[in-house]
A and B are shown apart, each in its own frame.
Chain A
């Protein structure tokens, strides 16, 4: 039996307005080569100056993953020739990165080797022109964090879970949009296999070019299977870089160890070392939001929510915050509120109507302010709304002004509970259908459902069907006996 040993290198594009070392814009999808300046184009005689926000982002992620923060880290030059890198080197951190150690919990603890700051390269288009490569250098100098894990992952599934966790974290910290399709989150994997009983490491290959969670899983699964086939056939795995081809669903060789780059790193003399004072560290620590794991734990323990609800609600920070604002408001307005009961009512509304509306409007704002959703939740808790009534009220409220009670009254959505309102209508229904009353008298009890439906219809579906049923039973018994 073989076991896979996997380490990841995740590149995360930071959400800054300007680039890492120059003030030109980072906006995505702009006219090609319009967001460039002499620094990002690598013109001679230009001087890079580090963007303060980049340091802050690195500190946020480093502190959130419990890394050691270096008081002093060094920007280095990593040299390689490629047309999308006009300077001939990439500014990166090498020997002295800003964050080391740390971990991410995916059920198991996955150790981080380091997190460092670097700049992105431009974009090459190989398929527009059969004889040439076209270059858009807008992405040159866009700030990245590279997150490197220890070889702690054991399956392709774990690698994908880790990546999803990273995405959630950078979105919570508001340092990146984590969008894999637009390349804000990219991932390379170092993969080797070994006999399950052994503790040494096999020869590894590096897989590049995986731009979705599914690709990561597929590419690693294929590479692990390929390496096992090689070993089983008595061969040896050679150290090399392989590209994942999503269409062919396989990895293929890109370059071997012998052709590997010699990057000739050295400290960039144009950039002073990055200093992090205790004051900066503490200031950033105070800005960290409650992180997803802590939040999920609190929802389960303090609010008594099922694990499923807690997981769904904390997935995105803005949804968790919306849930909490609504819940706080509901607890405030309900007399002698039970926080757990309130939590479940709000949770159902958020996971149902609210998230459905968000999905339909793709990224639009929440349909209702938390205060108005709390009013709706209050009516529901007081038994004045059926579940379909709540759904309709939500839809009405997102189009109309007014309190939940006012909108519900306007559209007669409140459940009619009192007998006084129900009795005359029920009596009319029985008078209108003598034939069915006769059937009931002869013992055909199933016509009760028909009467319930008739009453409900005249009330626009709003009465509590259980009460209607009880009342009809009483009235029919009086009539028949």
Chain B
């Protein structure tokens, strides 16, 4: 289960992170080690067992459709690095 340097670059791009070549190398080794550790689980025979995505076998955790006032514009914007009027302001984005 070796992670390649290209894998690291793909993941970095998806996460909008930028690394130096040295850092990329370091991460390649570290991520490989993490995945090798997790690969221990492959030794367990899971034939015929449904994947478990949630620890608690809960009944529906749902709520009724009632409105509770949110935190309001001023508080919503309080921690933002940049704002304009009632808006968050971020670097120009184009396309999707």
Contact = CB atoms under 8 A, between A and B. Distances in A.
B67 A17 contact: yes
B91 interface: yes
A133 B92 CA distance: 5
Given A52-B64, A136-B87, A269 B53 contact: yes
A33 B63 contact: no
B92 A131 contact: yes
Interface string A3-47: 000000000000011100001110000011111111011000000
Interface string B52-81: 011010111111111111111100110000
Contact of B88 (A25, A137, A264): A137
A215 interface: no
Interface residues of B, number: 39
Contacts of B88: 33, 83, 134-135, 137
B77 A33 contact: yes
A272 B67 contact: no
Contacts, number: 134
Given A40-B70, A254-B95, A33 B54 contact: no
A49 B69 contact: no
A420 B85 CA distance: 78
B94 A126 contact: yes
Contact of B67 (A24, A129, A241, A271): A24
B67 to A, nearest CB: 5
Nearest to B53: A267
B91 to A, nearest CB: 6
A55 B70 contact: no
Nearest to B96: A254
A41 B88 CA distance: 11
B62 A23 contact: no
Nearest to A136: B87
A83 B77 contact: no
B18 to A, nearest CB: 13
B65 A52 contact: yes
Interface of B: 10, 14-16, 53-54, 56, 58-73, 76-77, 82, 84-96
Given A31-B86, A135-B88, 4 more contacts: A18-B65, A51-B64, A82-B96, A83-B90
6 contacts: A24-B69, A33-B87, A37-B70, A55-B62, A83-B88, A132-B91
The 7 closest A-B pairs by CB, nearest first: A24-B70, A134-B87, A267-B53, A23-B68, A32-B86, A53-B65, A37-B70
